[in-house]
């Protein structure tokens, strides 16, 4: 990690400065990365944590030689973020299995999220939570515009296997979600 | 040679090379089994797209204050020291908080969701009769009401094969097309009113008219009602009768802050969006020989509906022509804009006893009103005041 000289920005706060390009990248891409992770996880806190983790990876990566990373930071960041979200799904599954908690607990919780729950968001998240982590990640990524190659990259699949995984994910999602919808 | 699902899905997604694409296209023309599989896969894909668009829309509406997070982040590893609460970013009408494509989808969903109240509201005539929405009105739902409804619903769960309740189908094209103002004007047959004072050019889209038809299997529905603890049931006379809700063609005008281009990529950067939507009032057609007042009484008396809500619903006097919008914790309120009754929809207030979040501006707000038989609405990644300001420019 490079040394970060301390500069005084105003009398209230003292922050270390980092490479201006890194700061620019952060400010430019933070909203996109955050919203992508919020979409994937459905949980604001998880999305905030994983967004910071994503940029930490970039920071660790971004020495002056790694200009390749910074040439298309958006693609790089979204792939890393997707991978972190996928790992989070897997850990979450282990944790839920261990604690035998109902899968509903992964839904966006808390009173502040009541507005989301008013929408179909709750139903969709509930159906997604029943999918295997990889199926869920592939489904979410595909429907946010990722190509098969990008999906393969993010979840560690061969590009040729993405279609099969996606077909299964869409079938299972429809089985669960369709049932919930009809119950309404 | 038949194709497995994985390859057919890749084909639908345009993720196969040209020779494969051509062989699949040729094959499904002669192979009924693969054609059926393709059809099913497409349905599954559409279900996922529709559902996940809701999630994309919800996350696109979330604020993400990069500057503020940066200050915390750059101060790491000492994250124990909180940065002082920053003022919310200056909220221009088109501040950067959304993605164009997604926000449009959100607006469409919002309109569709509001209109879905029509079947509940409309049963009202002894003969085939068409109702049009002439006003909008809110009913208030408390947290306790919501909990009660959700508890009642989960009690009745799993008692029935829900496919047997009846048929629902949609007639009319689904695709929204981009149009010019004069094309749109010709199609809809009412004066299109666009907001004034926005500093970008709108993109105009035409949503073709659609009719949702449904036919109930009364025995099955009544069994479900009974499982929810209802003492009232639907009369046999409506069995197999076709009800329809027609949503006339609507025009969506989208104003997006496009300063951060790169349209080719799925994730460009944040964009602000204002959408103005308008269409003639939806119509509900009740079949001949159905006593709609009776149906309405059954619906209102359903035990799933809490008493306080029941009272409000009973008090809607002109209910045949009223679009009812639920008000959850202050999320919707009735008002008058330039003399026209309107409903303002905004994010609900926090639950009592919790601390409201000050680190993000309010989420998208919207205004909906009816004027001369045309339902119009404005919404987007703007706050309530801005939505009302825009609405005013359309009502005048």
Nearest CA in chain A to B71: A15
How many Å apart are CA B300 and CA B317, to the nearest integer? Answer: 14
Q: What is the mean pLDDT of residues B58-85?
A: 58
pLDDT band at B270 (very low <50, low <70, confident <90, very high): very low
Distance from the Cα of A99 to chain B's closest Cα (Å) equals: 23
The owner of tokens 């189908």 is B169
Query: A177 φ, ψ to 5°?
Result: -70, -40
Q: Give pTM, 2 decimals.
A: 0.42
| Higher pLDDT pick, B231 / B2 | B2
The dihedral formed by the CA atoms of A116, A122, A124 and A126, expressed in degrees to the nearest 10: 150
pLDDT digits (tens, 9 = 90+) for B308-361: 777 777 776 665 666 666 666 566 777 888 888 888 877 655 555 554 444 444
- On chain B, the residues whose CB falls within 8 A of the CB of A52 are 69, 73
Which one of A29, A146, A163 has the shortest CB-CB distance to B266? Answer: A146
CB contact (8 A) between residue B266 and residue A145: yes
Cβ pair B362, B345 in contact under 8 A: no
pLDDT band at A6 (very low <50, low <70, confident <90, very high): very low
Q: What is the mean pLDDT of residues A100-114?
A: 34
How many Å apart are CA B302 and CA B320, to the nearest integer? Answer: 19
Q: Check whether B303 has a pLDDT greater than 90.
A: no
> What's the pLDDT at A114?
40
Number of H helices, E strands in chain B: 12, 15
Asked if ipTM goes beyond 0.90, one says no
Distance from the Cα of A158 to chain B's closest Cα (Å) equals: 13
Task: Dig out the tokens for A15 from the structure.
Answer: 């922050």
> What's the pLDDT at B243?
73
Cβ pair A92, A50 in contact under 8 A: no
Most confident of the ranges A105-114, A151-160, B76-85, B102-111 = A151-160
Task: Dig out the tokens for B271 from the structure.
Answer: 């964009």
Q: Check whether B271 has a pLDDT greater than 80.
A: no
Task: Dig out the tokens for B73 from the structure.
Answer: 């982040």
Of B13, B42, B46, B59, which to mutate for an interface test with A (greatest number of A Cβ within 10 Å)?
A: B59
How many Å apart are CA A46 and CA A151, to the nearest integer? Answer: 21
- Around Cβ B76, how many Cβ atoms within 10 Å? 13
**A-proximal residues of B, 318-337, CB under 8 Å:** 326, 328-329, 331
pLDDT digits (tens, 9 = 90+) for A52-65: 888 888 776 655 44
- Per the prediction, chain A carries an average pLDDT of 73
For A105, B188, B265, B269, B391, the CA distances from B258, given in Å and listed in that order, are 38, 28, 14, 10, 22
| Higher pLDDT pick, A72 / A79 | A79
CB contact (8 A) between residue B350 and residue A111: yes
Query: A56 φ, ψ to 5°?
Result: -65, -40
A to B CB pairs, distance under 8 Å: 175
State the number of CA atoms in the 13 A half-sphere of A85 facing the CB.
Answer: 32
Cβ pair B364, B110 in contact under 8 A: no
Q: Check whether B57 has a pLDDT greater than 60.
A: yes
Q: What is the mean pLDDT of residues A75-103?
A: 74
pLDDT band at B35 (very low <50, low <70, confident <90, very high): very high
pLDDT band at B275 (very low <50, low <70, confident <90, very high): confident
> What's the pLDDT at B24?
93
Q: What is the mean pLDDT of residues B110-129?
A: 31
Most confident of the ranges B105-119, B255-269, B339-353, B357-371 = B339-353
Per the document, the length of chain B is 396
- CB of B84 within 8 Å of a chain A CB? The answer is yes
Cβ pair B175, B205 in contact under 8 A: no
> What's the pLDDT at B131?
44
> What's the pLDDT at B223?
77
Q: Check whether A82 has a pLDDT greater than 90.
A: yes
How much of chain B exceeds pLDDT 90, in percent? 11
- β-pair type (B203-207, B210-216): unpaired
| Higher pLDDT pick, A67 / B144 | B144
CB contact (8 A) between residue A170 and residue B47: yes
Distance from the Cα of B190 to chain A's closest Cα (Å) equals: 31
pLDDT band at B284 (very low <50, low <70, confident <90, very high): low
For A136, B109, B113, B210, B303, the CA distances from A182, given in Å and listed in that order, are 22, 18, 15, 20, 19
- Per the prediction, chain B carries an average pLDDT of 68
pLDDT band at A151 (very low <50, low <70, confident <90, very high): very high
Distance from the Cα of B161 to chain A's closest Cα (Å) equals: 9
Q: Which residues pair with B274 in a beta bridge?
A: B255, B380
> What's the pLDDT at B101?
31
How many Å apart are CA B210 and CA B101, to the nearest integer? Answer: 22
For B325, B338, B350, B367, the CA distances from B334, given in Å and listed in that order, are 10, 13, 20, 10
pLDDT digits (tens, 9 = 90+) for B72-94: 666 554 333 333 223 222 222 22
pLDDT band at A138 (very low <50, low <70, confident <90, very high): very high
- CB of B188 within 8 Å of a chain A CB? The answer is no
- β-pair type (B203-207, B242-247): unpaired
Nearest CA in chain B to A72: B265
Which one of A31, A75, A178 has the shortest CB-CB distance to B47? Answer: A178
pLDDT band at B56 (very low <50, low <70, confident <90, very high): confident
Of B38, B69, B145, B349, which to mutate for an interface test with A (greatest number of A Cβ within 10 Å)?
A: B69
- On chain A, the residues whose CB falls within 8 A of the CB of B60 are 35
How many Å apart are CA B333 and CA B311, to the nearest integer? Answer: 18
Of B7, B12, B44, which to mutate for an interface test with A (greatest number of A Cβ within 10 Å)?
A: B44
Q: Given its phi and psi angles, is residue B175 left (phi above 0), alpha (psi -120 to 50 degrees) or beta?
A: beta
Of B57, B58, B117, B271, which to mutate for an interface test with A (greatest number of A Cβ within 10 Å)?
A: B58
How much of chain A exceeds pLDDT 90, in percent? 27
Weakest-pLDDT range from A127-141, B95-109, B185-199, B273-287:
B95-109
pLDDT band at B150 (very low <50, low <70, confident <90, very high): low
Q: What is the mean pLDDT of residues B224-249?
A: 75
- On chain A, the residues whose CB falls within 8 A of the CB of B143 are 114
CB contact (8 A) between residue B51 and residue A177: yes
pLDDT digits (tens, 9 = 90+) for B170-222: 777 667 788 888 888 888 888 888 998 887 888 888 888 877 777 778 887 77
């Amino acid at each position: 990690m490079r040394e970060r000289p301390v500069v005084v920005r105003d009398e209230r706060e003292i922050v270390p400065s980092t490479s201006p390009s890194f700061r620019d990248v952060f400010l430019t891409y933070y909203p996109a990365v955050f919203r992508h992770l919020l979409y994937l996880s459905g949980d604001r806190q998880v999305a905030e944590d994983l967004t910071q983790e994503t940029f930490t990876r970039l920071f660790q990566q971004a020495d002056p030689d790694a200009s390749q990373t910074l040439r298309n930071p958006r693609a790089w960041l979204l792939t890393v973020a997707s991978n972190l979200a996928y790992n989070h799904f897997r850990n979450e599954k282990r944790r839920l299995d261990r604690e035998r908690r109902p899968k509903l607990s992964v839904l966006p919780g808390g009173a502040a999220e009541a507005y989301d729950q008013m929408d179909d968001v709750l139903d969709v998240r509930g159906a997604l939570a029943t999918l295997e982590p990889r199926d869920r990640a592939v489904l979410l990524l595909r429907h946010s515009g990722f190509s098969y190659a990008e999906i393969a990259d993010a979840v560690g699949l061969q590009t040729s296997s993405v279609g099969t995984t996606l077909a299964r994910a869409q079938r299972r999602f429809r089985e669960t979600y369709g049932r919930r919808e009809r119950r309404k | 040679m038949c194709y497995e699902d994985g390859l057919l899905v890749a084909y639908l997604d345009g993720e196969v090379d040209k020779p494969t694409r051509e062989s699949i296209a040729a094959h499904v023309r002669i192979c009924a089994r693969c054609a059926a599989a393709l059809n099913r896969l497409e349905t599954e894909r559409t279900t996922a797209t529709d559902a996940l668009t809701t999630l994309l829309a919800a996350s696109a509406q979330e604020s993400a204050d990069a500057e503020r997070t940066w200050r915390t982040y750059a101060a790491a590893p000492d994250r124990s020291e909180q940065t002082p609460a920053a003022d919310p970013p200056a909220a221009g009408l088109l501040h950067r908080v959304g993605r164009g494509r997604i926000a449009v989808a959100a607006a469409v969903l919002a309109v569709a969701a509001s209109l879905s109240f029509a079947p509940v509201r409309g049963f009202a005539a002894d003969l085939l009769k068409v109702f049009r929405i002439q006003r909008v009105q809110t009913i208030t739902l408390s947290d306790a009401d919501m909990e009660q409804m959700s508890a009642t619903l989960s009690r009745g769960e799993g008692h029935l094969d829900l496919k047997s309740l009846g048929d629902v189908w949609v007639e009319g094209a689904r695709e929204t097309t981009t149009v010019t103002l004069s094309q749109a004007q010709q199609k809809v047959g009412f004066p299109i009113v666009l907001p004034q004072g926005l500093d970008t050019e709108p993109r105009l889209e035409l949503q073709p008219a659609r009719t949702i038809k449904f036919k109930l299997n009364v025995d099955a529905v009544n069994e479900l009602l009974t499982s929810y603890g209802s003492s009232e049931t639907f009369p046999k006379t409506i069995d197999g009768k076709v009800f329809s809700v027609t949503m006339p063609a609507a025009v969506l005008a989208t104003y997006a802050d496009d300063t951060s281009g790169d349209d080719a990529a799925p994730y460009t950067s944040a964009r602000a969006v204002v959408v103005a939507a308008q269409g003639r009032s939806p119509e509900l057609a009740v079949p001949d020989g159905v006593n709609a007042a009776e149906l309405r009484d059954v619906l209102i008396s359903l035990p799933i509906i809490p008493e306080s809500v029941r009272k409000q619903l009973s008090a809607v006097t002109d209910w045949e022509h009223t679009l009812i919008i639920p008000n959850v914790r202050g999320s919707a309120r009735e008002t008058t804009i330039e003399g026209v009754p309107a409903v303002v929809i905004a994010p609900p207030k926090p639950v009592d006893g919790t601390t409201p979040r000050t680190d993000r501006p309010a989420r998208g707000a919207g205004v909906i009103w009816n004027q001369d038989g045309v339902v119009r609405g404005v919404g987007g990644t703007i706050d309530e005041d801005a939505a009302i300001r825009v609405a005013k420019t359309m009502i005048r």
